[in-house]
Structure 1
Amino acid sequence: MCEVAVAEVVLNTGEGMPLIGMGGAASPLPPLDVLTSIFLEAVEAGYRHFDIVACYGSEEALSRAVTEALERGLVKSRGDIFITTKLWCTDAHPGLVLPALKKSLQRLGLEYVDLYIIHWPIRVKEGTEGWLDLKGKMLPFDIKGTWEAMEECSKLGLAKSIGVSNFGTKKLSQLLMHATIPPAVNQVEMNVGWQQEKLRAYCREKGIHVSVWSPLGANGASWGSLAIMESHVLKEIAIARGKTVAQVALRWIYEQGASVIVKSFNKERMKENLQILDWGLSQEDSDKIKLQIPQRRGLAGDMFIYKDGPYKSLDELWDGDA
């Protein structure tokens, strides 16, 4: 059946979450039947955690894939698949959270998601498409009220765990001041080229699990770079270990105690990305990665910065975390 058994982390809700997840974002998105087949191939390879979001348009394909996986006996029950979806910025308002989740559940054909995440600490006007031009479209983000609505989703049993994404230490602190249910996860950009030591330490102290997007630097995306995949430090370690550069980069994240969302629609690379659990980096390897790889945020966030908007500087957006 599946080729690899993926280890789990137990979240602060008591729910187990596979430490390696399959992301569903792509631009352009493959046709529905193609994406469904890709998700099925991921299940066959051993993926049991799928991370999607309504605005990516991938929920229906995942729904079809899960249904077929159950019919084919690739998984025994819905409970064998951990599904994360996210609240998009147009719905990041107290009165819109629950309706948005219900729409996602309808598209997914599910009674609940395992994890529901606020995608960004950002609200934009309803009907806004994309994020390339948000001038005049950004609205104040009600962190307290929006989180209360997320808690309602949890209390209703529509989300087993709730979390956030792209929250810095100050915003997490502000949220925790009012929360009755703390976030289970903070999903952030993190990789060997942006190691997030301050934020990781804060989340560890507060019992919030760090999940990682852009683990390989988004080298195929318009905003990413090849800095990680072309790193001479990683190449040297990979040769010595008999691994790929990607596997070394992913293993480093795993050894920091974080979970990772990988996104390759290539069948062989899907399998390779799972093969990071039965070996380890040496202390020398870890020291080289920590000390010799230049640090730079891949997604700067400039698209959210406006003089008349809620965030007037990148420091405000990212809470000065580095």
Structure 2
Amino acid sequence: MTKTLNLPGGTPLPLIGFGTWQLRPKTAYESVRAALEIGYRHVDTATLYKNESDVGRAVKDSGVDREQVFVTTKLRPQDARHARRTLESSLRMLDTGYVDLWLIHWPTGQDELVSTWEELLSAKDAGLVRNVGVSNYSPALIDLLTKATGQQPAVNQIPWSPAEHDPALLEEHRDRGIVVEGYSGLNNTDLNNPVLTEIAQRHGVTSAQVVLRWHLERDIVILPRSSRPERIAANFDLEGFDLTAEDVAAIDTLG
């Protein structure tokens, strides 16, 4: 079983998620099916990705109980004025009565920041989504939403990698009790960096596995994506080794 973090409402969020950005329909279906077969129980999509129906079909065809799969989708800022309609369309395409997490994909214009957040909260109250959050928001913007509504995002999904490691930013999220989901952790990393290759060699794993494990050591949710079954499996296989405190510190310095 993948390690989970509990979101404020008590929903367990698996630390290892499967990302579907840039996966075309047929590939998205096959990759999500492969991921669920391997053991992933967290799948991340978005209106922008145009693959929600393929993701939904893969979850349904996998034979895994819907309650066991944590599904995230995201609202594009340009859809903010008809947020509920967009969500209902996402639910139809995903062929499910609810999503586990609905995020605003990136900040809207200043005048729509609060009203869009209120739309997400209202969808949660209606039972269409179990948790709500944001993506690509600064702590200052998060505070603005919280102050206006008394309810803060459960999650902020932001770019995170050894090169972008920012202890102060992480601390700001921790202080607020907000889970950080890191995206593009492998994309934004030079996997041939000698620090990573040395650690990987010592543990008998790949540099990619080292980077993903480094995220987990910090309780940062990861969303690796791949269309290759062996890569999908390797990205999930992170339990067989532990990074030492020295390893983690060395990777931290790559920023």
Q: 1:182 maps to what in 2?
A: 152
Q: How far off its partner does 1:201 sit?
A: 0.5
**Unmatched runs of 5 consecutive residues or more in structure 1:** 124-139, 219-223, 296-322
Question: In structure 2, which of residues 51, 59, 69 is the aligned counterpart of residue 66 of structure 1?
Answer: 59
- Check conservation: 2:31, 2:226, Cα contact below 8 A: no
> Residues 283-310 of structure 1, C-alpha deviation per residue, up to 9 Å, x if partnerless?
211221122x1x3xxxxxxxxxxxxxxx
Q: How far off its partner does 1:239 sit?
A: 0.7
Please give the alpha-carbon distance, in whole angstroms, between the structure 1 residues aligned to 2:105 and 2:121.
Answer: 15
> Residues 9-46 of structure 1, C-alpha deviation per residue, up to 9 Å, x if partnerless?
111121001110111111xx43x334312211111111
SS at match of 1:287: helix
- Check conservation: 1:192, 1:228, Cα contact below 8 A: no
Q: 1:109 maps to what in 2?
A: 95
SS at match of 2:222: strand
Please give the alpha-carbon distance, in whole angstroms, between the structure 1 residues aligned to 2:43 and 2:50.
Answer: 14
> Residues 245-266 of structure 1, C-alpha deviation per residue, up to 9 Å, x if partnerless?
0010001110011111111111
Q: 2:251 maps to what in 1?
A: 289
Please give the alpha-carbon distance, in whole angstroms, between the structure 1 residues aligned to 2:51 and 2:128.
Answer: 19
Q: 2:162 maps to what in 1?
A: 192
Question: In structure 2, which of residues 11, 32, 36 is the aligned counterpart of residue 15 of structure 1?
Answer: 11
Amino acid at match of 1:89: P
SS at match of 1:239: helix
Q: 2:178 maps to what in 1?
A: 208
Q: 2:106 maps to what in 1?
A: 120
- Check conservation: 1:23, 1:262, Cα contact below 8 A: yes
Q: 1:86 maps to what in 2?
A: 74
Residue 277 in 1 paired to residue 239 in 2? Answer: yes
- Check conservation: 2:18, 2:223, Cα contact below 8 A: yes
Please give the alpha-carbon distance, in whole angstroms, between the structure 1 residues aligned to 2:240 and 2:8.
Answer: 26
Please give the alpha-carbon distance, in whole angstroms, between the structure 1 residues aligned to 2:79 and 2:35.
Answer: 30
> Residues 101-136 of structure 1, C-alpha deviation per residue, up to 9 Å, x if partnerless?
11100111111000000100135xxxxxxxxxxxxx
Amino acid at match of 1:175: L
Please give the alpha-carbon distance, in whole angstroms, between the structure 1 residues aligned to 2:124 and 2:68.
Answer: 20
- Check conservation: 2:101, 2:133, Cα contact below 8 A: yes
Residue 229 in 1 paired to residue 191 in 2? Answer: yes
> Residues 229-278 of structure 1, C-alpha deviation per residue, up to 9 Å, x if partnerless?
12111111111111100010001110011111111111011111111124
Q: How far off its partner does 1:180 sit?
A: 3.2
CA RMSD of aligned residues (A): 1.4
Q: 2:209 maps to what in 1?
A: 247
SS at match of 2:172: helix
TM-score if structure 2 supplies the norm length? 0.95
Q: How far off its partner does 1:141 sit?
A: 4.8
- Check conservation: 1:238, 1:248, Cα contact below 8 A: yes
Greater C-alpha radius of gyration:
1
- Check conservation: 1:167, 1:188, Cα contact below 8 A: yes
Please give the alpha-carbon distance, in whole angstroms, between the structure 1 residues aligned to 2:160 and 2:31.
Answer: 25
Question: In structure 2, which of residues 224, 227, 233 is the aligned counterpart of residue 265 of structure 1?
Answer: 227
Amino acid at match of 1:63: G
SS at match of 1:102: helix
Please give the alpha-carbon distance, in whole angstroms, between the structure 1 residues aligned to 2:180 and 2:172.
Answer: 10
Question: In structure 2, which of residues 120, 139, 143 is the aligned counterpart of residue 150 of structure 1?
Answer: 120
Q: Structure 1 segments of 4 or more deviating over 3 A?
A: none
Please give the alpha-carbon distance, in whole angstroms, between the structure 2 residues aligned to 1:108 and 1:207.
Answer: 29
